[in-house]
A and B are shown apart, each in its own frame.
Chain A
Amino acid sequence: MRKTRTIALAALLVALAPIAIADGAMVLFNDQVVEISATLDDPTDLWVSPDDLTRINGFVLKPEGACLDDICIVAREDVDGGLVVNRDGAKWFSVTELARKLQQAFVHDAETGVWSFGEIPVTRKPFLESGMAPDFALEDRNGDTVRLSDLRGKKVMIVTWASW
């Protein structure tokens, strides 16, 4: 029964690709909390606008794919509907599918709409394989941003401690 199969496949595709625009989300990555005002309604994936994608993790949607510096992941809606879809003329991008392709760990709290993303493994290679110090931007107690990359030319000792 070819027709039944086609219908079943169409139903499956509809089920896979979210349509409705849902409420926002809070996204934690790289010590930032990014508030997203609109997402696609999907219980397992986080779909955001291309602008929000850049706000979350710096990736920019280009003709060749979603790119961050020299990392580019192919993202064409006619090739890979899991990563980018078009709804009423607007593009939506799956941050979670990108994370899976990058083998980036993430956690989702469905009840509150909070997503927390771990480091992107490919960006960790210079540290793990060659000992290049991971950069960070953290606010000090005076309210100034401390960026390790601003301290080139000096020797630095980072030391952790805790009150507990």
Chain B
Amino acid sequence: MPVWQSIYEELNDPNFVIISAAQDTGGEAAAGPIFEKANVTYTAIVDVNHTISSLYNFVNVPSAAWIDEEGRVVRIDEGTYTRAANVLGQTIGSDDYLPALKDWLKNGADSPHIYSADKVASQIRGRSDEETLAEPTFKMAAYFYQNEDQDRANAYWDKAQALSPESWNFHRQDWSFLEQKDTMKNFMGKVNALRAAEKPYYAPMELKPSTD
């Protein structure tokens, strides 16, 4: 997300790449102005099909993966805010996140913040058969939306949400095309249902204190 620009400038590390992927089926019209306003100089992608979320099993934004020099995921997180914030009564993100990132950039494999392959595998969100089917279903909706067939887009968005009810990406993308008041109504309805089930809006972030 665009808030990373100042951090990217501060880090100023030629061997560190930030890829910021806007999960926006609305395309450049939706995400472009926000990238522009932030004057981002890192890699900026408008990911209309939510390909990154689909590949990395993310269900909400912001989510992040750290990838080492050999292409291994060494950390995978939901609710990747640059500092702790209170959203909807839940503390999300952590003030320890940026120090942890810096620690990894400096110490690589010796950083206490990176995970073993087994730990990464256990942190990746699993998918049921229905959730797996929801992925091509959502992409079908995005295809029809891009081809200005709103009725079919809506039909496949409904199916994707029914198949994968825990994907906030799918719900919120679909609701973004509704009137604002309906969007908030849907959103708060889902949030309240989560609260009633005592489930967090984001998976809690695990961070050890930084060593230096």
Contact = CB atoms under 8 A, between A and B. Distances in A.
Contacts of B124: 127-128, 131
B201 interface: no
Interface residues of A, number: 45
B202 interface: no
Nearest to A117: B136
A21 interface: no
B21 A119 contact: no
A119 B55 contact: yes
A148 interface: yes
B16 A157 contact: yes
Interface stretch (A44-52, A62-70, A79-87, A101-109): A101-109
A15 interface: no
Q: Give the interface size class of chain B.
A: 35 or more
Interface string B55-77: 11010011111111111111010
A154 interface: yes
Interface string A131-157: 111111011110000101101111111
Nearest to A129: B121
A154 B16 contact: yes
Q: Tell which of B1, B15, B54, B71 has the most Cβ of chain A within 10 Å.
A: B71
Interface stretch (B27-35, B84-92, B189-197, B203-211): B27-35
B22 A118 contact: no
Interface string B4-31: 1000000000011111111110101011
A37 interface: no
A157 B140 contact: no
A148 B45 contact: no
Given A131-B117, A132-B73, A155 B68 contact: yes
A162 interface: yes
Contacts of A160: 1, 20-23, 47, 52-53, 58, 61-64
A113 to B, nearest CB: 12
B140 A156 contact: no
Contacts of A129: 121
Given A114-B143, A161-B61, A162-B173, A156 B152 contact: no
B105 interface: yes
Contact of A31 (B16, B51, B156, B183): B51
A163 B16 contact: no
Interface of A: 26, 28, 31, 33, 105-107, 109, 112, 114, 116-119, 127-136, 138-141, 146, 148-149, 151-164
Given A116-B137, A116-B140, A138-B21, 7 more contacts: A116-B143, A131-B120, A140-B45, A148-B71, A156-B66, A161-B20, A162-B31
Rank and list the top 3 A-B pairs by shortest CB-CB distance, nearest first.
A131-B120, A161-B1, A164-B176
30 contacts: A28-B136, A107-B133, A112-B149, A116-B136, A119-B55, A127-B73, A131-B117, A132-B73, A133-B67, A134-B56, A141-B35, A141-B46, A151-B67, A155-B66, A155-B105, A156-B17, A156-B66, A158-B64, A159-B21, A159-B64, A160-B1, A160-B47, A161-B1, A161-B21, A162-B23, A162-B31, A163-B24, A163-B26, A164-B175, A164-B176
